Structure formats: structure tokens, C-alpha cells
Amino acid sequence: MTSRINIIGCGRAAGSLTRLWLQANAVTIGGVINRSEASSHQAVDKIGAGKAVNDIAEMGSADFWLIGTSDDEIAGVAHSIAQSRQNLRGSLVFHLAGRFGLDVLQSLANSGALLAALHPVRSLTDAQISLADFAGTACIAEGSDAALKVLEPLFTSIGGAWLPVASIDRGLYHASVSIISNITKAVAWKAQKWQQKAGLPERTAAAVTHQLLNSTMQDLFRSGAKQSITGPVVRGDTSTIEAHLEALRVNHPEDVEVYRVLARTVLELAQERGDLDEETLLRFEDLLKGM
């Protein structure tokens, strides 16, 4: 028999996953609660399944309880589930936040429920995401052996790459994945602004940026960051870096420090790889030391 899932907080991430589970015939949808009655009904209409309810006590029993709220609301929702007098014995309650582990679910520790934290390591913002899009997505999972045994089939059914962990530093972990995803996008946006200031039309700047991102990803997959890094820093070309900084001082003075921070990161990688001699390293350190 297909498992039933209740969803509290059916926004972009939970909604995307729910549509994938429905595509894979992995679950049936039970109750759905969002911040307002109207939002709950909109979520049900968008995923095309489930029943909008006004209170956790109305949700009924389920094999899975997904907390898809914002990070700061998870602990409060867990407490509300614990106080709802639902029969949770044998059910699995999990959240999707990379920032938190099991600690935010501790109010459910004596409820009889299995507890887990599951973080899909990709953006889940597209309502049209397909099983093919999700295939291979890293799914960082934390919980007891019993909890993970129950949760694993739910995510492997939609092609997730199952990656269980234990007692990780959540702050550092979440910072790392955020900088890969969100900071990469922000840096690409910033670079396009520089290209447009340099004279490239907006569409041309976008095409250049996208092509570079695609080839960079291919390099990363093929050889890794350390082996594939190129450019003036790893070549020891301080004059080119000086020219970059001067161009930014003239055209985007507010971004000079952004460039310095990013260039220092490249310098750190080049230093670890052993590309630069001591004299060149000292020249770069002086050039990039900041204001």
C-alpha cells in the first residue's frame, strides 16, 4: 500500500518534492497546512492532491510528516505536532533544512515517532522540476538507523543520491552549500553587471556568463577545482590583477573589495596547489591585502 504523507509548510521546496513523489507514485497526500487557509488551498491546487486543513489535529494519521516551513519555524511546528495528540508511533517526522539537524525536533523525542533531517542539495524553486531534473541530487540525511531505513526509499524513489551523515557542524555545512549555490549566482550576476559596464549588451553578457558557467562546471566534474583552476592568479600574473583592480576603481569602486576577497580565495587555492613561489605570493598578498 502507498505511504501517506502530511505536509506542514507546502512551499517551494516541499511542493517541488511532493510533485516528484506524485510523479513516481511514491506517496498519497494527506493533510496540507500553510500559514493561512487560503494558502493551504492554493498549495493543494498547485500539487493537485491532498486536503487543506486548518489544524494539525485534523490531519489524521500518516506514515510521513514533512515539516517544510522556514527554518526558524521548524521547532515550533514540531512542538505543535507533539501537542496535537496525534498517534505518531511508527510515523516518521522530518524537515528539509540544511541549517538544522535533529535538535529542532526534540519536542517529539517521546512521541514514538522516528525523527530525521533531510537536506536535498539543490534549488527547489521550479514548479516544473521533473524526475530527470532531480536524478542524482545529493540528499544529506541525518537520523537513527531505523529512521533512515524508513526515509531512504522515499528519496531514492525520485532519484535522489542517498548520503547519510552523523553529527555534522550544521552551521559550517550550510555555509558551504549556500556559498556554492547562492554566492555563485550572485557572483555571476555581479560579473554580468561588470560586462555591461564594459560595453557588452545585456544579452551578450548573459550568454558569456552562461557559457563560462557551463564550461566551469564541466571542468569541476572532470578534474576538480584544484586541478582545473586557471587564470592570472595561478599564473603569477600580478600586472593583470593590478589592471583588474584599476578598472574596478574607475567603473565600480564599490566592488573593489568584492574582487579582492574572491581573488584571495583563488590565491589560497593556488598556494595549496603549489603554483607560486614565495616572492610571487608576497606580491599578491600585498596587492590583495585590502583597504
Q: Is the pLDDT of residue 93 over 70?
A: yes
Assign 290 a pLDDT band (cuts: 50, 70, 90): low
Q: pLDDT tens digit string along 115-130?
A: 999 999 998 876 678 8
Would you say the pTM of this structure is higher than 0.95? no
Give the residue-averaged pLDDT of 25-53: 95
What pLDDT was estimated at residue 125?
76
Assign 167 a pLDDT band (cuts: 50, 70, 90): confident
Q: pLDDT tens digit string along 198-232?
A: 999 999 999 999 999 999 999 999 999 999 999 99
The residue length of the chain stands at 291
Domains and CATH numbers, the chain: 3-168 (3.40.50.720), 171-287 (1.10.1040)
What pLDDT was estimated at residue 212?
94
What pLDDT was estimated at residue 18?
95
What pLDDT was estimated at residue 262?
93
Give the residue-averaged pLDDT of 56-65: 93
Q: pLDDT tens digit string along 233-272?
A: 999 999 999 999 999 999 999 999 999 999 999 999 999 9
Q: pLDDT tens digit string along 99-156?
A: 999 999 999 999 999 999 999 999 887 667 889 999 999 999 999 999 999 999 999 9
Give the residue-averaged pLDDT of 181-187: 92
What pLDDT was estimated at residue 77?
96
